[in-house]
A and B are shown apart, each in its own frame.
Chain A
C-alpha cells in the first residue's frame, strides 16, 4: 500500500484536516466551545509531535512527486504546526473577551494550517497553488471575523480582493512555466528550463504572486490594513504561520525549480526587493502610533531581512532563512500575544501606543515578556532574533553581497527606535488615566512565558553546539 506510506509522510496535514472536519461537525451540532478548543489543541499537539518526528526522518517525494518530505519541507510543516498551536492557545481568552468567539474559528484555523503545510511541502506547482488557495480562503474568513464593524469588513474585503489578484499572478506564472517546459513538477521544470522569454515571464509572475503573499515591497500595501482589522491573535497567525509557509515554499521553488539555469540571475532581483522591503518597512514603522500597525510594518521589514538570506542563494543562506523563520515565529507570536492581552481589557482601539503609558508596572510579567519579545525583534543578543539576523547577514557577506548586508544592518538599527518607543511608554511615561488590567488566564500566561523562554533559550543555545537546531537545519542543505 503505497498510499499509506505516502499518507504517513504527510501526516501532520492529514491530522489537521481530519480534525478540522470533526471540528466543523462539532460546530454544526453546537458543541460547547471549550470542547472544540480542547479538541483542536489535542489534534495540534499530535500534529506537532509527528512533525518533530519527521524533522529527523528520511527525505524524498511522495504522492507522485506532488509533495516533498523530510529536510526543508519537514521543517516547514513543523514551523506551521508550532505557530498554529501557539496562536490557538492564546486565541481563546482573547476572542472571548472581544465577543467574537465563534465555534467555526477553530475549524477554519485547522483547514488553513492544512493548506499551509501543503504549501510548505509542495514539490509541484499544482500542489503549490492548491496549498496557497486552501490557506488563503480560510484566512479571508478569519480576517472578517469582527463582523458588523467597518474595520473588520475593510480588512476582509481588502484581503479577498488583493489575494485574488495575487493568485491570478501566481496562476498565470504557473501556466506560462507549464507552457515553456511542459511540466509542473519542480525537478522536471528545472531539467527542461531554458531562459526563453516565456519561461522568464512565467518565473517573474510566479515570484510576483509570492511577493504578495510574503508582503514584500512594492506588493505590501494590504498588510497593515488587514493586520489591523483582524483579531490580534489571528493577526499573529497571519504574520507567522502563513508567512513561514510561503517563505518555505519560496525556498523550495528557488532551490529546486530555478537553481542554476543559464541566463537567469535571480540574486539581483531579490537584492533589490530585499533592500526596498527593509527600507520601506522600517521607515513607515517609525511613524506608526498604533502598535498593531507598527508590528505589521515591522513584519514587512522582517520579510526584507529574510529576503537577504534568499538573495544570497547559497545553502548557508537558506539555512539562515529557516532559522530566521523559526525565530520570527516564536518572537512574533509572543509580541502579538502580549498586545492581545493589553487589548482585551478595553475596546478595540486600545492599540494606540499612548495608552500603553505606565502599563509595564501593572502586571509585571506581561511587561517583561513584551520587552523580551521586542528586544528579540530588534535583534539584540542574547535573544533568538539576533542569531536569525546574524545567520542571514553572514550568509549574504559570504556570498559577496556586502552592500546588501550593510543596508540590512543599518535598517535594523533604525528599527530600534520604534520598538524601544513601546517600552519607553510601558515604563517611563505617566499614565493619563488609570486602567485596571484583568489577570491573564493561566494557559494564556504560561504559553507566553514558554515563548519567552524559547526566545531566550534559542538565543544562547548555539553556545552548546551539539544537536542544536541550527546544526539540524544545516544538514538539510
Chain B
C-alpha cells in the first residue's frame, strides 16, 4: 500500500532539487547587491516588524466591505450555476433580485466615496 506513495516522494525530491538548482543558478549568474529592503521578508509592501497596536485608515475597512459584496455573490452564484437547469426560471428571478440588492449596496458604498482615497469617506450628513 505504501508503495503507491513512491511517485509523490519522487515528485517532492524533484521539486526540492529543482528549487536548489534554480536558486544557486540565479545566485551564480545574476548580479548580487544586497541591501536592507531586499533582505526583508516579503509582506506585500507592509513593514513586517512593528508595534502590534497599529491604526489603519478606515478606508481599508470600506474596501473590505466591498470585497464582501463580491464574495457573497460568488458564494451564491456557484451553487446556482451548477444547478441552473434544474432550478429553472423562478431561481433565475430570485438570483436576479439577490444580485440587484447586492449591487445597490455596492452602488451606495461607491457613491459615498470609498474608492476615492484622496478624500475622507463621510456619511452623507446634511
Contacts and interface: CB of A to CB of B under 8 A. Distances in A.
Contact of A27 (B94, B101, B124): B124
Given A102-B123, A103-B123, A27 B108 contact: yes
A33 B108 CA distance: 16
B123 to A, nearest CB: 5
B125 A25 contact: no
Contacts of A464: none
A15 to B, nearest CB: 15
Interface string A1-32: 00100000000000000000100110111100
Contacts of B124: 27-28, 30, 102-104
Contacts of A25: 104, 107-108
For chain B, what secondary structure do more than half of its interface residues adopt (helix, strand, loop), or is it mixed? Answer: helix
Nearest to B109: A28
A24 B112 CA distance: 11
B91 to A, nearest CB: 10
Nearest to A105: B123
A29 B124 CA distance: 8
Interface in B74-126: 90, 93-94, 101, 104-105, 107-108, 111-112, 123-126
A21 B123 contact: no
A30 B123 CA distance: 10
A30 B105 CA distance: 15
Nearest to A31: B124
A28 B111 CA distance: 6
A290 to B, nearest CB: 28
B99 to A, nearest CB: 13
B101 to A, nearest CB: 7
Nearest to B123: A102
Nearest to A17: B101
A33 B105 CA distance: 19
A448 to B, nearest CB: 27
Nearest to A2: B90
Contacts of A30: 124
A104 B90 contact: no
A103 B104 contact: no
Contacts of B112: 28
B104 A102 contact: no
A3 B123 contact: no
Contacts of A33: 126
A105 B107 CA distance: 18
A29 B94 CA distance: 27
A104 B123 contact: yes
Nearest to A30: B124
B61 to A, nearest CB: 14
B108 A24 contact: yes
B80 to A, nearest CB: 16
A90 to B, nearest CB: 21
B101 A21 contact: yes
B111 to A, nearest CB: 4
Nearest to B111: A28
A21 B93 CA distance: 18
Contacts of A104: 123-124
A28 B125 CA distance: 10
Nearest to A1: B90
A104 B109 CA distance: 12
Given A3-B90, A29-B111, A24 B104 contact: yes
Given A21-B104, A25-B104, A28-B107, A102 B125 contact: yes
The residue in B94, B105, B125, B126 that gathers the most chain A C-beta atoms within 10 A of its C-beta is: B125
A221 to B, nearest CB: 28
Contacts of B93: 3
A207 to B, nearest CB: 30
Nearest to B90: A3
Interface string A70-94: 0000000000000000000000000
Contacts of A24: 104-105, 108
Given A3-B94, A27-B124, 8 more contacts: A24-B108, A28-B107, A28-B111, A28-B124, A30-B124, A102-B123, A103-B123, A103-B124
Interface of A: 3, 21, 24-25, 27-30, 33, 102-104
28 contacts: A3-B90, A3-B93, A3-B94, A21-B101, A24-B104, A24-B105, A24-B108, A25-B104, A25-B107, A25-B108, A27-B108, A27-B124, A28-B107, A28-B108, A28-B111, A28-B112, A28-B124, A29-B111, A30-B124, A33-B126, A102-B123, A102-B124, A102-B125, A103-B123, A103-B124, A103-B125, A104-B123, A104-B124
Closest 5 CB pairs of A and B: A28-B111, A28-B108, A103-B124, A27-B124, A30-B124
